[in-house]
Amino acid sequence: MAILNIVKEGDPTLRKVCRPVTEITPRIIQLLDDMQETLIDSNGAGLAAPQVGILRRIAVVDMEDGIVELINPEIIETEGEQEELEGCLSVPDVWGITHRPAKVTVRAMNRNGEIFTVTGEDLDARCFCHEIDHLDGHLFTDKAVRILTPDEVAEIRGE
C-alpha cells in the first residue's frame, strides 16, 4: 500500500467528469487499498479518486463501522435537509456551510463486483454527496451557502 498525493484546488483533474469502472482489475484493488491508506493518513472523512489524480468513479468514506468503498456510486434516495460545516482535503484551510440532504442512500459496487446499498445520515450523508460531487468535477466551494471567514475557521479549530 502507499500514501497517494492529494491534488489541490486549481488542478484540472478536480474539474473533470470521471469514468465508470467497468472491470475490477488488480489496479483498481490497489487503488482502493491506497485510497484507504491515504484517507486514514490524512484524517479525512472521505476521499474520491480524482483527488489522487485518477479519473474513475471511486470513493472511500470513513463511516462509524469502518471505511466503505464505493465504486460507481449513485445517490438513489434522499431525505430531509441539513446545513452544516464542510471542508475538503483538496481545498485546505477552507470551510463552508453547505445545504445537503440529512439522509442519503447510495447504491454502489464493492471490490468483489457486488452491488450494495448504504445509507448515511448527518456527516455520512454530507460525505456521500461531497464525494460523488467530486466524481462529476464539483467542489463543495461551488455550492457552499457560505464560506467561513479565516477568523471563524480559527475558532472552529480552537486556535
Nearest alpha carbon to residue 80 among 111, 46, 119 = 119
**Nearest residue to Zn ion, scored by beta-carbon proximity:** 88
Alpha helices in 57-139 (DSSP H): 123-135
Active site residue 9: no
Q: How many residues bind Zn ion (CB under 5 A)?
A: 1
Instruction: Find the binder of Zn ion among 4, 32, 45, 88 (CB under 5 A).
Output: 88
Sequence-separated (6 or more) residues with CB below 8 Å from residue 37: 1, 2, 3
Residue 61 lies near Zn ion (rule: CB under 5 A): no
Return the number of the residue (103 or 140) whose C-beta is nearest Zn ion.
140
Considering the candidates 83, 86, 121, 131, report the single residue annotated as catalytic. 131
Residues 120-159 interacting with Zn ion (rule: CB under 5 A): none
Residue 131 pairs with which residues in a beta bridge? Answer: none
- Toward Zn ion, which CB reaches closer, 52 or 88? 88
143 has which bridge partners?
A: none
Minimum CB distance to Zn ion smaller for 71 or for 88: 88
Q: What whole-number distance in Å separates Cα of residue 95 and Cα of residue 116?
A: 31
Residues annotated as catalytic (active site), given as ranges: 131
Residues at the contact surface with Zn ion, assessed by CB under 5 A: 88
